[in-house]
Amino acid sequence: MVANQTTHREKASKDLAPLPDIPEKRYFSISEAALLCGVKAHVLRYWEQEFPQLSPLKRKGNRRYYQRHDLLLARQIRTLLYGEGYTIHGARERLQGLARFPHRESPDKNQRQLSLDVAGSSVSVIESRKRWQYLRQELSELLDLCGRRH
């Protein structure tokens, strides 16, 4: 490839507009969430169907209330889809991989950033439990290995 030509992913990431800071607030309506994530409301609703991790609270009349961790996740999805050129399927697998095995990802800059975003956000109780279960399983296997050798 010629030096001054850019790949599709490089071009796409340059086109992403910077996002505003997320205000210190507990709940956000779908219209507020859409503005803070740089997408339209119908896109967020679609992503809820495609990404099981994205599940805002629903109250009366099926109104959605997004929390900070929902917004951070939606921003990651936006980056994967629009910035890095992933398909929906690829982005879903990438997010599931980061949640399950954050230390096994290859250490490129984008993956490190996504790992930090996931770890730095206030994750749901379910995600937290899954991480602890995974760590317990890993430690148990290590203890088994150590016990067998002695």
pLDDT level of residue 115 (50, 70, 90 thresholds)? very low
Residue 102 has pLDDT above 80, yes or no: no
Average pLDDT over residues 76-95: 92
pLDDT level of residue 127 (50, 70, 90 thresholds)? low
According to the model, what pLDDT value does residue 124 have?
54
- Report which of residues 133 and 77 the model is more confident about: 77
Give the number of other CB atoms < 10 A from CB of residue 8. 9
pLDDT level of residue 126 (50, 70, 90 thresholds)? low
- Report which of residues 77 and 102 the model is more confident about: 77
Q: Does domain 8-149 have CATH number 1.25.60.10?
A: no
List pLDDT tens digits, range 12-52: 445 688 899 999 999 999 999 999 999 999 999 999 999 99
User: How is 3-44 classified by DSSP, letter by letter?
Assistant: TT---HHHHHHHHPPPPPPPPS-S-B-HHHHHHHHTS-HHHH
- Report the distance separating Cα 59 and Cα 10, nearest Å: 40
Tell me the pLDDT of the chain averaged across its residues.
76
List pLDDT tens digits, range 7-20: 444 544 456 888 99
- Report the distance separating Cα 112 and Cα 115, nearest Å: 5
